[in-house]
A and B are shown apart, each in its own frame.
Chain A
Amino acid sequence: MMSAFFALFRRDLALAARIGGGAGVGLVFFLMLVTIMPFAVGPDMALLARIGPAILWVAALLATLIGLDRLFQADDEDGSLDLLRMSPLPLPLVVLAKGLAHWISTGLPLALAAPVLGLLLALEPKALLAVTVTLLVGTPALTFIGAIGAALTAGMRRGGLILSVLVMPLMIPVLIFGISATSAALGGSIPFMTPFLILVALALFAFVSGTVAASLALQNAEG
């Protein structure tokens, strides 16, 4: 069963990396959002440094939403989803393999690019580190929460809008605790670990509930 899991995981990574895979779309969107911010806010370094972590987090959340609609839709359109449903790999593990591959090709690059882009926002080193760590933990949570919406809208053309509306409210706790952990790292009344551990818990919860909920949605896609 593990070999089946990794076969699917590797296929999705390979597809994302090749032409038309769309792995770069979210990252480029993230770069654009963050680079235009200093122009919009103006040359106030102190202000930028203060709102910088929030900008990075909001940009990462929106960039995650962009690629999510293709997570299951591409397989639904060409009939691969039918065959995946008939594989010996249980559907929740299909979702997990696809979700992990999706996160590695879309979410992880955002977290890795964050410290570089943080420089544009005049973040101090401590803030750069805090944003990167919280995004590393937070982006998989965003991906797996989004997987639920992606599964529900798999059969819809132009399902991206409905998907965003569906999953955005569920992503807000992740955003809140991601940013509060970052601000806690920069000083404040609460220690960093308090909001950070809640963020970790949200990520673990998203792994399990997102995987199960998305597989149920795919199972009942046709009735």
Chain B
Amino acid sequence: MRLVVDGLASIRSGRPVFSNMGFFVNSGEALAITGPNGAGKSSLLRIVAGLLPASKGKVQLEGGDADTPLAEEAHYLGHRDALKPALSPLETLQFWQSLYGRPLRSPLEALEMVGLAHAANLPSAYLSAGQRRRLALARLIVTHRPLWLLDEPTSALDAASESMFSTLVEAHLVAGGMVMVATHAPLGFPCQSLVMGGRA
């Protein structure tokens, strides 16, 4: 499986964010996207996820099921954690798993892996910023989607959680997954690098 981005351009509110962007990510590879604020890292991830329309160019997943749109092959982790304060971590993961289908592991097992097993039944409102982020990461591993699109995934994470995150990503890569990470911080796993910025 291979993600191919070709001739991609984005214009937001009349302002060109980037243009003629092309790259590919092979199965088992990670791509780190770096660049100054406003360079278009988040826009790029959202376009790949299908959440934003591209002004030009195309994004496709080669070697995937032709009937499944790319958005359904990708996990997106944005700045916001998409958590409901009233639902417990366990309920949150159960919900996303039954909505997304293709279960990979049980919600309890995933909570164990991100170190939130003790809070499984607590309302998410009581979680700290770092714990909320870990719960958002747990969402990635309860259902199988080959492409991970992560927008500053390590914000609010402590050192131990960062290495836990690296372990999750490495396991996903070994299993043949693809990862795109927009980040400012150095990552704990080997990856290709894409630097965005300057005038488009």
What count of chain A residues pass the 8 Å CB interface test? 25
Q: Is A18 an interface position by the 8 A CB rule? A: yes
Q: If the complex has contacts A4-B101, A7-B98, A85-B71, are A80 and B52 also in contact, measured as CB distance less than 8 A?
A: no
| B68 CB to nearest chain A CB (Å) | 8
Chain B contact-residue range equals 20 to 34
Residues of B within 8 A of A88 (CB): 72, 100-101
Q: If the complex has contacts A78-B80, A78-B81, A78-B84, are A83 and B101 also in contact, measured as CB distance less than 8 A?
A: no
Q: If the complex has contacts A87-B100, A222-B52, are A11 and B71 also in contact, measured as CB distance less than 8 A?
A: no
| Structural contact, A86 and B85, CB atoms closer than 8 A | no
| B95 CB to nearest chain A CB (Å) | 5
Closest to A85 in B: B51
| A73 CB to nearest chain B CB (Å) | 13
Q: Is B22 an interface position by the 8 A CB rule? A: no
Residues of B within 8 A of A82 (CB): 46, 49, 51, 76, 78, 82
Q: Is A188 an interface position by the 8 A CB rule? A: no
Chain A positions within 8 Å of B, measured between CB atoms, are 3-4, 7-8, 11, 14-15, 18-21, 77-80, 82-89, 222-223
| Besides A80-B84, A88-B101, 7 new A-B residue pairs in contact (Cβ under 8 A), listed by A number | A4-B99, A11-B91, A15-B86, A78-B82, A78-B84, A82-B49, A89-B99
Chain B positions within 8 Å of A, measured between CB atoms, are 46, 49-53, 71-72, 74, 76, 78-87, 91, 95-96, 98-101
